[in-house]
Amino acid sequence: MDNASAAADPGGTPAVARPVGSVRAALLVVEGLWAWYRRNWRATVVSSVVQPVLYLLALGFGFGSQVRPGEATQGLPYLAYLAPALLVAGAVQNAAGESTHPVLSSFKWARTYWGIIATPISPGQLVAGQLLWIALRLLTSGAAYLVVAALFGALTGPGVLLSLVFAVLAGMAFSAPLVAYSASVRDEGQGFNAVFRFVVVPMTLFAGTYFPVSQLPVWVWPLAWVTPLWHGTELARAAAFESMSPLPTLGHLAYLLAVLAVGVLLTRRQFTRRLLV
Amino acid sequence: MTAADSLLVHASGLVKRFGDVEAVRGIDVGVRRGEAFGFLGPNGAGKSSTMRMIACVSPRSAGELRVLGMDPQRDGPRIRARLGVVPQQDTLDNELTVRQNLQVYGRYFGLSRDTVRRKAVELMEFAQLSDRAEDQVEPLSGGMKRRLTIARSLVNDPELLLLDEPTIGLDPQARHLLWDRLYQLRHAGVTLILTTHYMDEAEQLCDRLVVMDGGRIVAEGSPAELIARYSTREVLELRFAPGHQRDALPVVATLADRVEVLPDRLLLYTADGEASLAAVHERDVRPASTLIRRSTLEDVFLRLTGRSLVD
Amino acid sequence: MAHELTAPPRPGRGDQTEQRPSPLLRIVPPGLYAGRARMLVERSFLVNRRSWLAVVSGFFEPLFFLFALGLGFGTLVSTVTGPDGQPMDYVAFVAPALLAASAMNGAVYDATINIFHKMRYAKLYDAVLSTPLGPLDVAVGETSWALLRGGLYAAGFVVVLLGMGLVSSAWGLLALPAALLVAFAFAAVGMAATTFMRSWQDFDLVNLAVMPLFLFSTTFYPLSVYPRPLRIAVECLPLYHGVALLRGLVTGYVHWGLLGHVLYLVLMAVVGLLVATKRIARLLLR
């Protein structure tokens, strides 16, 4: 390696740079995002942790006080019925937030992705790091929510820890295709409003978070079944209430993993296409 | 090995196409170790596309390209580990501090935390940003951000530094400070490749340069060689009330190697401006004012790429 | 309206306003207000004409909530205590509250994120203030646009409520101006708040303010759910007054107390507008 001697910075100490392995590269991207987060975490606490907690308070306690436990709530008090579902809904909403403007901005306004690919890190490694970072954010926000929910006495047992895993999986199954979309956006991101209005909000309202999908007209059911949120909610409730059965569990898991895989592939393609022109 | 060692960048027949548009139409370039090499050309000439191919972030469409003796397509990460890149638009992380920008970027090169911490201090010193170390980047002035971008591009001690319009939009003080830093780097043996619109910048910084137009290289050489080849030693400017310059044109046309007609003046390209001016007066041409100056790279540039707008 | 937009500006117009000064012109120091806030509304109209689909889509959000609450929540809870103390249908209870909440949401969004973007990044107001227009023109013009948009949504929502038979008295027609008042109050305060924001990160604080308002202002369940001290706290919230006003009008439980809610919202609008004008002047006319 002759670069260390040839290259120089006036009065500087030579730094030996080298390409790193893919896993390490992805972790370096996560590290870079973490450096940002350490300075800016305050701005995300409200939407990622406070929001689900407030929903739990208002709808679990407030609205729940008007609900009599019955078949629709699986025989549970509404608060207990709602708590694991809000974990998943929160993860999906966080995923939506993390996968839209921050990604577009890194391409378009801050242009930090362009800075990163000028280093030995490749677009594929960048994608891995970015998605891993989102998953970590979902995991920590979900964990924080669970702590608060437990303090409120809204949790039914340790099964919610498994619910947390399912929540992150559902969140990522929603995030990956959305990151791919965000990477394809060339304008100022006006389409994100439509995504939130016509996908995220209806999903959180109709995909089984607050009431069973079966209470909706039959023609709406397939729409709910398509969403990662519904699969995640089914899994999370089953885990929390310790009512898991193998076949549905496998089915939901398979669906979420398939959507995630497709999303990751699409994201890789979009990132490569946009960054390596 | 020897060829690869002396030529840090070697392109032959290099082509870049975007759909039907051919941005770079088969160029041959060789950049030697330790030199400062410039790409000049109007907007859309293909400079930035070429730079991005050299930076290994844009696959070539055809032709050959070796950077540091390697193939960008295959060895992109290994090459990029030894490059510094200053993009046309800053890609700084506006929400991090000056110091963090340097450290985070250094980590992308696989440098240890200790190393990036040390490098950040050195580079802030180098870019005269030490007193802004803990400030967020966003409110910094354009000159400071540019200095930081250049400092950041040095975090891995690159052998080859690519600068795309490094001083665009800066005030004269900031430009001179940047030039000063680039001299230092060149002195330290770093090879520089830069694109610029500013001819004075090219004359100041470049040992050798190429002029690009419409995706092709139209001239190549040192600034002095280019002036000698495409212009004359001096230029005599004769200024008239707008419109009247055309009356004088037939009279003075034979007094110079070449005459260019502008809305309010005639430019006489000549080896000896004083002699030509005397001849002009002899022929009883009375311009409103006159100016004799040395030929510059700008004269070469305008001759080669034309005066009309390209965009 | 459309033909007025395409017509070139008429020079006589400004003189006319000077001859017959509007009330605002008389109380506001000259320089702050040129009486041409309308121009900014026209600009917004031109900008949004190209993205009308996005504008129209805003109408759907409260509808989704209404359907979700009607179809899902409504089967979990069939009746709640209405404003007059009598049990009433849950959907009829929650529908007017959704109207108030969506008026707030739309207004706050328009007045914070949009305005911040225009002020900080697009530098729109720097350009506007280099013309005869003043900061109050900006404040009034932008607020008016937010209102026009909000008014369209509110009108659509009221039509849906009528269609679903959820409006039980003729007073319900006043829901439209009442929703506009809610939107006006929140737009004015939101704009004032925006002038204090240093970076986009502060918008999480906006969320922090708006979300609890949405959730806790008796939108989804009656005030009686709260223990007494909390009840008083909730009664101080601005959206509570919007919800109470609209719920009273739409359910036909009309009494003098509603005027109190109106007064609260009017005060909010006036204070917000004055603060916003002062701040825009300070930020941009230095």
* Torsion sign, CA atoms B109, B115, B117, B119: negative
Number of domains in chain B: 2
Of A57, A197, A205, the CB nearest to C68: A205
Chains touching C by CB (3 or more pairs below 8 Å): A
Task: Provide the chain C residues 44-63 that lie in CB contact (below 8 A) with chain A.
Answer: 51, 54, 57-58, 60-61
In what order do the strands lie in the sheet containing B265-270?
A: B258-262, B265-270, B234-239, B289-294
Tell me whether A10 touches chain B (CB under 8 Å). yes
What region, left, alpha or beta, does residue A122 occupy, with left being phi > 0 and alpha being psi -120 to 50 degrees?
A: beta
Which of residues B176, B195, B221 is at a domain's end?
A: B221
Is B49 inside a domain boundary?
yes
Same domain, B61 and B106: yes
| B235 within 8 A of B221, measured Cβ to Cβ | no
- Residue predicted with more confidence, C180 or C15: C180
Same domain, B236 and B215: no
Residue C242 has pLDDT above 90, yes or no: yes
All residues of chain B having their beta carbon less than 8 Å from the beta carbon of residue A36 are 93, 95-96, 104
Interval C86-104: pLDDT, tens: 889 888 999 999 999 988 9
Same domain, B179 and B239: no
Same domain, B205 and B257: no
Residue C12 has pLDDT above 50, yes or no: no
Residue C9 has pLDDT above 50, yes or no: no
Amino acid (1-letter code) at residue B229: R
Task: Provide the chain A residues 170-209 that lie in CB contact (below 8 A) with chain C.
Answer: 190, 193-194, 197-198, 201-202, 205-206
Task: Provide the chain C residues 205-224 that lie in CB contact (below 8 A) with chain A.
Answer: 205, 207-208, 211-212, 215-216, 220-221
Distance from CA of C201 to the nearest CA of A (A): 5
DSSP-assigned beta bridge partners for residue B27: B14
Same domain, B195 and B111: yes
| DSSP-derived secondary structure for B267-307 | EEEES-HHHHHHHHHHTT---SEEEEEE--HHHHHHHHH-S
Tell me whether A8 touches chain B (CB under 8 Å). yes
Choose from A22, A30, A37, A117 for mutation: most chain B CBs within 10 A: A117
Same domain, B144 and B251: no
Interval C101-146: pLDDT, tens: 988 988 888 788 878 877 776 677 777 777 777 778 888 888 888 8
Strands (E), A137-180: none
Q: Which region among A2-11, C127-136, C216-225 has the lowest average model confidence (pLDDT)?
A: A2-11
Contact A205 C65 (CB under 8 A): yes
The CA distances from residue A207 to A203, A220, C89, C242, in Å, are 5, 10, 24, 30
Distance from CA of C21 to the nearest CA of A (A): 40
Contact C54 A55 (CB under 8 A): no
CB atoms inside a 10 Å sphere around CB C26 = 7
| DSSP-derived secondary structure for C30-67 | TTS--S-HHHHHHHHHHHHHTTHHHHHHTTHHHHHHHH
Is B306 inside a domain boundary?
no
Is B311 inside a domain boundary?
no
Distance from CA of B211 to the nearest CA of A (A): 23
Residue B85 sits in which domain range? Answer: 2-221
The CA distances from residue C79 to B49, C220, C252, in Å, are 68, 12, 17
| C126 within 8 A of C205, measured Cβ to Cβ | no
Residue C189 has pLDDT above 70, yes or no: yes
CATH code of the domain in which B39 resides = 3.40.50.300
CATH code of the domain in which B243 resides = 3.30.70
All residues of chain A having their beta carbon less than 8 Å from the beta carbon of residue C98 are none
Same domain, B42 and B107: yes
Contact A197 C60 (CB under 8 A): yes
Tally of helices (H runs) and strands (E runs) in chain B: 12, 13
Is B305 inside a domain boundary?
no
Same domain, B74 and B119: yes
End-to-end Cα distance, chain A:
30
- Residue predicted with more confidence, C149 or B307: C149
The per-residue pLDDT for A12 is 52
Q: Which region among A114-123, A240-249, C135-144 has the lowest average model confidence (pLDDT)?
A: C135-144
Of A190, A216, A217, the CB nearest to C51: A190
Is B124 inside a domain boundary?
yes
The per-residue pLDDT for C284 is 72
Is B303 inside a domain boundary?
no
Choose from C215, C218, C226 for mutation: most chain A CBs within 10 A: C215
Mean pLDDT of chain B: 89
Contact C57 A50 (CB under 8 A): no
Interval B131-176: pLDDT, tens: 999 998 988 988 899 999 999 999 999 999 999 999 887 888 888 8
Tell me the C-alpha distance between B4 and A168, whole Å.
50
The per-residue pLDDT for C8 is 36
Residue C277 has pLDDT above 60, yes or no: yes
Of C57, C90, C201, the CB nearest to A43: C201
| B137 within 8 A of B148, measured Cβ to Cβ | yes
Same domain, B237 and B217: no
| DSSP-derived secondary structure for B4-53 | HHHEEEEEEEEEEEETTEEEEEEEEEEEETT-EEEEE--TTSSHHHHHHH
Closest CA to C250 of C179, C182, C159, C175: C175
Contact A114 B94 (CB under 8 A): no
All residues of chain B having their beta carbon less than 8 Å from the beta carbon of residue A272 are none
Residue C17 has pLDDT above 60, yes or no: no
Is B33 inside a domain boundary?
yes
Is B85 inside a domain boundary?
yes
What are the tokens at B137? 């980047």
Tell me whether A218 touches chain B (CB under 8 Å). no
Q: Which residue of A has its CA nearest to C203?
A: A43
Same domain, B177 and B278: no
Closest CA to A54 of C272, C212, B85: C212
Q: Average pLDDT by consecutive 10-residue portion of chain B (311 residues)? A: 70 94 94 94 90 92 95 89 91 89 90 93 93 91 90 93 89 86 90 90 92 92 90 90 82 85 88 89 88 89 74 51
Tell me the C-alpha distance between A101 and C201, whole Å.
13
Tell me whether C76 touches chain A (CB under 8 Å). yes
